[in-house]
Structure 1
Amino acid sequence: MTCAQLLLRLLRDTYGVDTVFGIPGVHTVALYRGLENGGVRHVTPRHEQGAGFMADGYARATGKPGVCLIITGPGMTNIATAMGQALADSIPMLVISSVNRRDTLGRGQGRLHELPSQQQLMAGVSRFSHTLLDPVALPEVLARAFAVFESQRPGPVHIEIPIDLFDAPVALVELPPPARLFRPVPDPQGLALAAAWLREAQRPLVLLGGGCVEAPAAVRTLVERLDAPTVTTINAKGVLGRDHPLDLGANAALPAVRELARNADVILAVGTELGETDYDVVFDDGFELHGRLIRIDLDAQQLVRNQQVSLGLVGEAGRSLALLAEHFLEPLSRAGRERTAATLAALGLAADPAFAPFVPFYATLREVLPEAILVGDSTAPVYAGNHLVSQPEPRRYFNASTGYGTLGYGLPAALGAQLAQPTLPVVALVGDGGVMFTLSELATAVEERLPVVIVLWHNQGYEEIRRYMDAHGVARCGVDIQAPDFQTVAAGFGCLATRIGNPAELARALAARPSDGPLLIEVDVNAWLEVINS
Structure 2
Amino acid sequence: MSSAPTCAQVLMHLLREYQVEKVFGIPGVHTIELYRGLPGSGLQHIAPRHEQGAAFMADGYARASGKPGVCFLITGPGVTNAATAMAQAYSDSVPMLVISAVNRREDLGMGRGRLHELPRQQDASRGFCIWQHSLTDAEQLPQVLARAFQLLASSRPGPVHIEIPIDLFPAPMPGKLDDYRARPPALPAAASSAAVATAAEWLGGAERPAILLGGGAQAAGISAAAIAEKLAAPVFLSLAAKGIIDERHPLCGGANLSFDCVRERVENADVVLAVGTELAETDRNLVRPDYAFKGKLIRVDIDPAQLVCNAEPDLAICADAAETLRQLNEALPVGGATEQQSAADEVAQLLADCRREWWPGSEERYPWVQALRAALPEDGILVTDSTQLAYNTNCALPCYSPRSHLTCTTGYGTLGFALPAAIGARLSGERDVLALIGDGGLMFTLGELAAAVEQQLPLPILVWNNSGYGEIRDFMDEAGVEQEGVNLSTPDFVALAKSFGAGGCRIERPEQLGPAVAEALNINVPTLIEITA
Q: TM-score, normalised by structure 2?
A: 0.95
For 1:96 and 1:373, the matched residues in 2 are separated by 27
For 1:241 and 1:324, the matched residues in 2 are separated by 20
Give the alignment's Cα RMSD to 1 decimal.
1.4
* 1:155 match: 158
Q: Do the aligned residues in 1 keep the contact of 2:149 with 2:185 (CA within 8 Å)?
A: no
Q: Do the aligned residues in 2 keep the contact of 1:350 with 1:356 (CA within 8 Å)?
A: no
* 1:198 match: 203
Q: Do the aligned residues in 1 keep the contact of 2:8 with 2:37 (CA within 8 Å)?
A: no
For 2:188 and 2:149, the matched residues in 1 are separated by 12
* 1:343 pairs with 2:346: no
> Residue by residue, what CA displacement relative to the aligned partner does 1:307-326 show, whole Å, maximum 9, x if unpaired?
12111001111110010111
Q: Which runs of 5+ in 1 are unaligned?
A: 526-534
Alpha-carbon shift at residue 286 of structure 1 (Å): 5.6
Structure 2: which amino acid aligns with 1:290? K
* 2:496 match: 489
Q: Say which SS state the counterpart of residue 192 (structure 1) adopts.
A: helix
Q: Say which SS state the counterpart of residue 521 (structure 1) adopts.
A: strand
Alpha-carbon shift at residue 178 of structure 1 (Å): 2.1
> Residue by residue, what CA displacement relative to the aligned partner does 1:462-490 show, whole Å, maximum 9, x if unpaired?
01111111111211111111111111211
For 2:428 and 2:40, the matched residues in 1 are separated by 20
The residue correspondences of 1:404-423 to structure 2 (distance < 5 A) are 404-421=412-429, 423=430
* 1:532 match: none
For 1:255 and 1:268, the matched residues in 2 are separated by 19
Q: Do the aligned residues in 1 keep the contact of 2:109 with 2:120 (CA within 8 Å)?
A: yes
For 1:67 and 1:92, the matched residues in 2 are separated by 9
Structure 2: which amino acid aligns with 1:200? G
Runs of 4+ in 1 over 4 A off after TM superposition: 349-353
* 2:320 match: 316
Q: Count how many residue pairs are aligned between Structure 1 and Structure 2.
A: 522
For 2:175 and 2:127, the matched residues in 1 are separated by 33
Correspondence for 2:167 among 147, 164, 170: 164
> Residue by residue, what CA displacement relative to the aligned partner does 1:405-462 show, whole Å, maximum 9, x if unpaired?
01000000000000002x2211000000011100000000111111110000000100
Q: Which runs of 5+ in 2 are unaligned?
A: none
For 2:518 and 2:198, the matched residues in 1 are separated by 52
* 1:179 match: 184
Structure 1: which amino acid aligns with 2:437? V
* 1:358 match: 365
The residue correspondences of 1:342-491 to structure 2 (distance < 5 A) are 342-348=349-355, 353-371=360-378, 372-421=380-429, 423-491=430-498
For 2:361 and 2:303, the matched residues in 1 are separated by 36
Q: Say which SS state the counterpart of residue 162 (structure 2) adopts.
A: strand
> Residue by residue, what CA displacement relative to the aligned partner does 1:129-175 show, whole Å, maximum 9, x if unpaired?
10000111100000111011111111110000000101110103401
* 1:507 match: 514
Q: Do the aligned residues in 2 keep the contact of 1:350 with 1:359 (CA within 8 Å)?
A: no
Q: Do the aligned residues in 2 keep the contact of 1:452 with 1:519 (CA within 8 Å)?
A: yes
For 1:316 and 1:244, the matched residues in 2 are separated by 24
Alpha-carbon shift at residue 34 of structure 1 (Å): 4.2
* 1:77 pairs with 2:80: yes
* 2:256 match: 251
Q: Do the aligned residues in 2 keep the contact of 1:252 with 1:287 (CA within 8 Å)?
A: no
Q: Do the aligned residues in 1 keep the contact of 2:370 with 2:397 (CA within 8 Å)?
A: no
> Residue by residue, what CA displacement relative to the aligned partner does 1:270-328 show, whole Å, maximum 9, x if unpaired?
0000000012x242216332211100000011000101211100111111001011121
> Residue by residue, what CA displacement relative to the aligned partner does 1:237-291 show, whole Å, maximum 9, x if unpaired?
1111141111111111111101112211111100000000012x24221633221
Alpha-carbon shift at residue 349 of structure 1 (Å): 5.5
Q: Say which SS state the counterpart of residue 358 (structure 1) adopts.
A: helix
* 1:49 pairs with 2:57: no
Alpha-carbon shift at residue 208 of structure 1 (Å): 0.2
Q: Do the aligned residues in 2 keep the contact of 1:228 with 1:246 (CA within 8 Å)?
A: yes
* 2:7 match: 3
The residue correspondences of 1:89-100 to structure 2 (distance < 5 A) are 89-100=92-103
* 1:216 match: 221
For 2:286 and 2:318, the matched residues in 1 are separated by 30
For 1:496 and 1:475, the matched residues in 2 are separated by 38
* 1:268 pairs with 2:273: yes
Correspondence for 1:67 among 55, 61, 70: 70
Q: Do the aligned residues in 1 keep the contact of 2:61 with 2:69 (CA within 8 Å)?
A: yes
* 2:41 match: 38
Structure 1: which amino acid aligns with 2:349? A
Q: Which moved more, 1:51-60 or 1:477-486?
A: 477-486
Alpha-carbon shift at residue 45 of structure 1 (Å): 0.3
Q: Say which SS state the counterpart of residue 39 (structure 1) adopts.
A: coil
* 1:109 pairs with 2:112: yes
Percent pairwise identity: 49
Q: Which moved more, 1:406-415 or 1:231-240?
A: 231-240
The residue correspondences of 1:127-146 to structure 2 (distance < 5 A) are 127-146=130-149
* 1:327 match: 331
Q: Say which SS state the counterpart of residue 231 (structure 1) adopts.
A: strand
